[in-house]
Structure 1
Amino acid sequence: MSSLATAQRSLADPEVRHPLWPPLTAGCPVTSTDEVAYPLDIDYAYDRVPAGLFERPAAHGLERWAPLLPPLAAPGLGEGNTPLVALPDGVYVKDESRNPTWSHKDRLNRVAVSAAKASGAQGIVVSSSGNHAAAAAAYAARAGLPCAVFTSPFAPPAVASHLRAYGATVLTVPLASVRTLMLRIVDELGFQSVSSVTDTAHTGHPFGPEGYKTIAYEIFLDLGRRAPAAVYLPTGYGELLFGVTKGFQELARLGLTRTVPRMYSCEPAAAGALAEAVRTGRPTARVPVGPTAAYAIDCEITGHRGVVALRESRGAALTVTDEQMAGAQAELAAQGLWQELSAAAGLAGLRAHGAPEADGPVVCVATSSGYKDSTTATAAFAPMDPDWPAIKARLVR
């Protein structure tokens, strides 16, 4: 099956359209302003979607959904088809830690790295604290492309090992220099950025969030061909939120569901840029970031994608504390699901704010493995007395 993608269109004004190629990674050149860089959305020939596309079960590899994705020019790693796990109270958890590099970012990078490959880029460049960088490096290696990663010197030590294992060039420079250097790598070396290159708002790669639509497709199939009533998602820049929302909108557009679930973004209370944009009615917002261990989603700026997703799904922007995320993380671990702190933000949002009264299941997306946490593997087990009474006392309480 081949892609039915037809064009790029501005999220500020869907009537403003651009050819599908090249990917406009710095936002829409027509509708963007000095204050806001508006990202691009991808349009498709929906009238040509094969009638049986959703009749078959989900499968590993995003090529399963090729007609509703941009061209997949780079090979995959068996991403997607992650499990939907029911908690004892009936809430479902979509466990994205089961992807090849243990996070949801594999879906984005299968699509974004494919765009770089198809565009003839000499490599890819990314700025990321962890999950996005690891996935970009893995898919670049798979595609035979060099990968340059700007990451924080405060990222967990395991992140650098993960990146170098894939052959990525890891660059740790002051944050203020990252955008300028990324643009030089793009302009002078012919690399393509798979993360944001603008300072006015988060734009990101226009093709990448399309990979997240497949989460919605899989949830639909796993729930017996129905849409949930609500979905709670950890949220940083809002790309995951946008992609999953769009996936459910496409299911409704194709006549497969009658409704689109209410979408709930769940950000750290120490940041909350999307919540601020929604509160003030602005297309994007920048906020100061306070102390938080949820380093994967502690974003000082949001993109317009998240605002669009919440508005069109009649959802809401929620914030959660580190304590609430830690409680949700412990709840998931007690059910055999080990997630990093940021990944538990969706369940934390549900537990802290409650679910709306609605007819249908509630789904929380859990985004990445506990191996990604900054505190993982920092403490060893202390030796203890091998005497039987001491062992028995630990087991019988």
Structure 2
Amino acid sequence: MTGGCPRSGTDEMAYPVEVDYDYDRVPAGLFAAGGPAAGRGLDRWAPLLPPLVAPGLGEGGTPLVELEPGLFVKDESRNPTWSHKDRLNRCTLSAAVGIGAPGVVVASSGNHGASAAAFAARAGLRCVVLASADAPPAVLSFLQAYGAVVLPVPPGGRWPLMRRIVERVGLHPVSNLTVTHTGHGFGPEGYKTVAYEIFTEIGVPAAVFVPTGYGELLFGIGKGFAELRRLGLADRVPRLYACEPAAGGPLAAAVRTGRPAAQVDVGPTEAYGIDCSVGGYRGVVALRESGGRALLVTDEQLRDAQGELARCGLWAELSSAAGLAGLRGMGDLRRAEGLDGPVVCVSTSSGFKDRSVGSHRIEPLAPEWAAVSRELRRAGIDG
């Protein structure tokens, strides 16, 4: 599931496995208002997903928040471990349960590892996470709480070690094993449900702006809308915009040079969640088939977007603000590219996941009106 296609792959390029369905057997009314009585979240969409044999945690069903007329934020921080990765891991852990694996192994210093550990614990499986020593405090707390085995190793050594663990211990890999990103075949299937939920609320938007690392979420959202078109429920797929850190941007490099995937050097950036040096073919496919393109955003643009979300009551991880940062960075191009309808920016994770969380300190204040009044005036609050 994570090794790519053995017939088309080479030492430099790996092509991912994709899941297909008998769409003629999709139940009528699956996307009707209220949906079937079978379940909520991912369970509602079971006819269009791999077998969900792993128990769920209430993942999916996240809110679509309207920031201003026609601009919506899909807030994935409302998932059980506060990120979009819960949609992926409900499906990948189901694969592990389905084949009788004793556990899973994942290379991640962020949301993927925290989520995999949660779903492994729920399924009664062991979880090994190859992480960085400087993983965010919230992520390390998640991993400790769920009883994951955390192995802090340098990024360059993670994939070879994953292969050894898979071969010698029999754990099921739920993250990548290839030089260009393929990921787990079931992963984007979970991400499709983001598109389903957007569609049931506002129909097909003009565009979806997606924080992008390896491009799995981008591809999953595109596939979800493509399935809606295939089922005769939608007449088009929205334009997809991949929003990558300007310090790297392998998907933008692949599109720019006409390659199926690219590898780039990554400069300094605080957007650790999407600072990937390699991309994958799925991201290229998503942009090509939707008529979208790759956007590069600076850390300054990310901080501005994160601040804008916070002023609207949404605390997003810096990487998660890339969707809004990409939209704001377009400026007048938004209208020039025909984005006159509603647009959706996906926010993938909670601000609790940033590395700076826990580093802020405040000095105690004397409980006297003079001191309190002074601080209120400093904040622009007069009374």
Shorter-chain TM band: over 0.9
Q: Which residue identity lines up with residue 98 of structure 1 in the other structure?
A: R
Partner of 1:208: 187
* Counterpart Cα distance in 2 of 1:66 and 1:134: 24
* Counterpart Cα distance in 2 of 1:177 and 1:287: 18
Partner of 1:15: none
**Alignment partner for residue 94 of structure 2, among 90, 114, 124?**
114
User: What number of residue pairs does the alignment pair up?
Assistant: 371
* Counterpart Cα distance in 1 of 2:144 and 2:96: 21
The alpha-carbon deviation at position 35 of structure 1 amounts to 1.5
- Structure 2 residue 341 is the aligned partner of structure 1 residue 360: yes
- For residues 294-314 of structure 1, the C-alpha deviation after alignment (integer angstroms, 9 at most, x for no partner) is 000000000111000000000
| Superposition misfits of 4+ residues, deviation over 6 angstroms | none
Is the 1:232–1:346 Cα contact (8 Å) retained in structure 2?
A: yes
Residues 60 and 378 (structure 1), Cα distance of their counterparts in 2 relative to 1, 3 Å cut: farther
Is the 2:137–2:357 Cα contact (8 Å) retained in structure 1?
A: no
What SS does the corresponding residue of 1:136 show, helix, strand or coil? helix
**Alignment partner for residue 186 of structure 1, among 135, 146, 166?**
166
Partner of 1:21: none
The alpha-carbon deviation at position 157 of structure 1 amounts to 2.7
What SS does the corresponding residue of 2:128 show, helix, strand or coil? strand
* Counterpart Cα distance in 2 of 1:60 and 1:54: 12
The alpha-carbon deviation at position 56 of structure 1 amounts to 4.2
Partner of 2:73: 93
Bigger shift: residues 32-41 or 318-327: 32-41
* Counterpart Cα distance in 2 of 1:239 and 1:188: 28
**Alignment partner for residue 46 of structure 2, among 66, 86, 94?**
66
The alpha-carbon deviation at position 390 of structure 1 amounts to 2.9
* Counterpart Cα distance in 1 of 2:138 and 2:305: 23
* Counterpart Cα distance in 2 of 1:168 and 1:325: 31
The alpha-carbon deviation at position 362 of structure 1 amounts to 0.4
What SS does the corresponding residue of 2:18 show, helix, strand or coil? strand
The alpha-carbon deviation at position 384 of structure 1 amounts to 2.2
Partner of 1:159: 139
Report the RMSD for the aligned CA atoms in angstroms.
Answer: 1.2
**Alignment partner for residue 256 of structure 1, among 226, 233, 251?**
233
Identity of aligned residues (%): 64
* Counterpart Cα distance in 2 of 1:366 and 1:95: 5
TM-score (norm 2): 0.95
What SS does the corresponding residue of 1:41 show, helix, strand or coil? coil
- For residues 35-93 of structure 1, the C-alpha deviation after alignment (integer angstroms, 9 at most, x for no partner) is 11100111000011101111143664311100100111100000000000001343100
* Counterpart Cα distance in 2 of 1:43 and 1:196: 20
Partner of 1:105: 85
Unaligned runs of 5+ in 2: none
Q: Which residue identity lines up with residue 81 of structure 1 in the other structure?
A: G
**Alignment partner for residue 140 of structure 1, among 105, 120, 127?**
120
